[in-house]
Chains A and B, each alone.
Chain A
Amino acid sequence: MSDTPAQSVAFVRETAIPPSPAPANASGIVKWMRDNLFATWPNALLTIASIYVIYLILAGTMPWIFNGVWSTNSLAECREVLDGTVGACFSVLTERWNQLLFGFKYPVDQYWRPLTAFLLMFAALAPVLFFDLPRKLLIITALFPFVAYWLIWGGTIWTPLFALLGFVAGYLVYARFVTQSFALGFFGGVFAAVVVWIVTGYITPMLAPEQPLLEAVPSRDLGGYMLNMMLGLTCVSLSLPLGIALALGRQSSMPLIKWICVIFIEFIRGVPLITLLFVANVMLAYFFPPGSGVDLFLRVVIMITMFSSAYIAEVIRGGLAALPKGQYEAADSLGLDYPQAMRLIILPQALKISIPGIVNIAVGLFKDTTLVSVISMFDILGMIRGPILASTDWNGVYWELLGFACVVFFVVCYSISQYSQWLERRLATDHR
């Protein structure tokens, strides 16, 4: 009886086992290769095949790149210099880089203006993207659109100053009346801003000097990669708040607002961006007072913003749906009203969930700005297909130019993607 299992199973632990570190991996590069590349026969064969394919690709492209010719004046000269060997004709880049970046009509001696605006852009974006920086820097962000406008387009300084004045007046009226009623504050602010703009619109021609400090450059003269960046930055910044408004409006319990938002979103998503750009170019003029000649850049910005805001609205709607209902209930039970609950509780969480979708749209939109080449605005792609390839010197140089366009786009898009991953890691507060 004393040998039965019941007697020998009873156990009481005397001392607790302290935690100890995990064993060091029996690692090393050889082990990694064995595990990942050559684990099984099929794996090993695939590895060898992949190495062969990579070799083929590199063997084709590396000589082409390293034999590149950088200092001739035309494609014909390049071929002379290369004399039969495989090599790229990068001289098109050395000769035409300024047209690729700035367009072919922007005055060459004024390149410092868009470059200054470009550098200021980083200063303006920094406090928005990196929320650890002091909030006072947001003043630069607020002033940046007006300064950048003046730098790039030139002309009289009164135009951006009066535009800024309109916003300031609108904000002051809003702040004065919003405590009484949100609608009164909002529409009062809009009304005040519009009044200021109309009045100053009449005054400006009288105040403008004959020779403005910065030579005026019309919108049709903008071009190159600069145009893509301007369109991308403006449209993404404007479409984000508009997209949020549309997403909230679509969820509204007021039928009129809800149906306006639904129809807007569904119509925009059903139509290609190119057709909207044609609308911008041709038809939008009919909606404005005759003879007002709304600026082409503005028309394109309006269309692209409307386009991306519809997509962003749907992404945010997904984020709003992913929030547990308890969050809405907790906000309500604490007594927060709708704008407060949205601003403090719901939208921060919904936007955090939507970051991958929104960045996806932003990156896609930035590349879609190349579509303006179809309505004869000479962005980088318009420059490549138009003036550069059509010239007798460079007719036929495809790979080098398109490769350059790919590289400049990749740099920006990859940076945006890396930023968004950093942002997601920083905001992940709900893991222990």
Chain B
Amino acid sequence: MADTAQMKVSDEVAISIQQMNKWYGAFHVLRDIDLTVYQGERIVICGPSGSGKSTLIRCINALEEHQKGSIEVDGTLLSSDLKNIDKIRSEVGMCFQHFNLFPHLTILENCTLAPIWVRKTPKKEAEETAMHFLEKVKIPDQANKYPGQLSGGQQQRVAIARSLCMRPRIMLFDEPTSALDPEMIKEVLDTMIELAEEGMTMLCVTHEMGFARQVANRVIFMDEGQIVEQNEPEAFFNNPQSPRTQLFLSQILGH
């Protein structure tokens, strides 16, 4: 398990965030964020609620706009140009806390929608890709059901498969297991671990510290909109430097 975390990452830069600042009106929600993510890296972002971790990853695929600083994803600069934004969004997949599956479409249609309409893939090929990824997340038999008929864990795995069908180079996870009950968390985390072992670049906001220890190259702790500490998982959990990090870890690892 330790060797997954130390797997060699490439030198290719996937995401480059420089001096990024964001305000909601007058509230300074993200302050001077500097972050470079290399291809193949797995990064876990943790922190108390309201620290801006979800906002940070939502800025990466332009679901939120930043006012100052620069974000570059896969070589494309994120600006207000719609073409750039659409290009970045098709290379970056995102999984949400509340799954956000499309309730009026079957599971298969959920997965084939984006490849058919954004990449103009023919329907047959899109369906084959969708079945391939549904098998990967271990629910191929649910393909013709509607999201409302699935359990929470199954829905989140479908959401992961749906993002993977676009063959993104980067995957963002916004607290993917926070809305699941404990028995289902394992099946989703197993899927994410498998994804990590195949070399996907991942940015994950989560409270699952076991997952961080097992899979992450780096753990980042955020508080009040700034990156307080980042380190390799072993060093981060065993030897936190900042008092704020120590306080957080004592509370979250206590129970």
Contact = CB atoms under 8 A, between A and B. Distances in A.
A432 B102 contact: no
Given A330-B100, A335-B114, 12 more contacts: A324-B98, A327-B102, A329-B63, A332-B63, A333-B63, A333-B92, A333-B93, A340-B118, A349-B103, A429-B146, A430-B148, A432-B148
Contact of A336 (B92, B96, B117, B147): B117
Q: Which 4 pairs show the lowest CB-CB distances between chains A and B?
A: A335-B90, A330-B100, A326-B100, A430-B148
Nearest to A349: B104
B54 to A, nearest CB: 11
B76 interface: no
Contact of B118 (A329, A334, A345, A349): A334
Contact of B148 (A333, A340, A348, A431): A431
A352 interface: yes
Interface in A296-324: 324
A332 B100 CA distance: 11
Given A336-B118, A337-B86, A430-B147, A327 B113 contact: no
Contacts of A335: 86, 89-90, 114, 118, 166
A344 B117 contact: yes
B121 interface: no
A336 B163 CA distance: 13
Contacts of A337: 82, 86
A429 B148 contact: yes
A207 interface: no
Interface of A: 324, 326-327, 329-330, 332-337, 340, 344-345, 348-349, 352, 427, 429-432
* Most chain B beta-carbon contacts within 10 A, residue among A327, A330, A344, A429: A330
Contact of B114 (A327, A334, A349, A427): A334
A333 B61 contact: yes
Contacts of A344: 113, 117
Given A333-B61, A335-B166, A348 B104 contact: yes
B178 interface: no
B148 A330 contact: no
B63 A340 contact: no
A345 B118 CA distance: 14
7 contacts: A329-B63, A334-B114, A336-B118, A349-B103, A427-B104, A430-B146, A432-B148
Given A326-B96, A334-B118, A352 B104 contact: yes
Contacts of B148: 429-432
B94 interface: yes
A92 B102 CA distance: 57
Contacts of A345: 102, 113
Contacts of A340: 117-118
Contacts of A336: 113-114, 117-118
Nearest to B92: A333
Interface string B69-110: 000000000000010001001101110101011111000000
Contacts of B82: 337
Given A348-B104, A430-B147, A432-B148, A334 B98 contact: no
Interface string B25-67: 0000000000000000000000000000000000001110000
A425 to B, nearest CB: 14
Interface in B98-155: 98, 100-104, 113-114, 117-118, 146-149
Given A427-B104, A429-B103, A333 B98 contact: no
A429 B93 CA distance: 26
Nearest to B149: A432
Contacts of B147: 430
* Most chain A beta-carbon contacts within 10 A, residue among B86, B98, B100: B100
Nearest to B96: A326
B100 A329 contact: yes
A170 B163 CA distance: 38
A429 B113 CA distance: 18
Nearest to B150: A432
Contacts of A327: 100, 102
B150 to A, nearest CB: 9
B123 to A, nearest CB: 14
A334 B82 CA distance: 14
A332 B118 CA distance: 11
Nearest to A327: B100
A84 B98 CA distance: 74
A345 B103 CA distance: 9
A326 B156 CA distance: 14
Contacts of B101: 330
A348 B110 CA distance: 14
B94 A333 contact: yes
Contacts of B92: 333
A327 B82 CA distance: 19
A334 B113 contact: yes
A348 B146 CA distance: 15
A326 B98 contact: yes
B103 A332 contact: no
A430 to B, nearest CB: 4
A329 B146 contact: no
A326 B58 CA distance: 12
Contact of B166 (A334, A348, A427): A334
A328 B166 CA distance: 18
Contacts of B113: 334, 336, 344-345
B163 to A, nearest CB: 8
Interface in B166-217: 166
* Most chain B beta-carbon contacts within 10 A, residue among A327, A335, A348, A432: A335
Nearest to A343: B117
A352 B105 CA distance: 13
A334 B89 contact: yes
Nearest to A340: B117
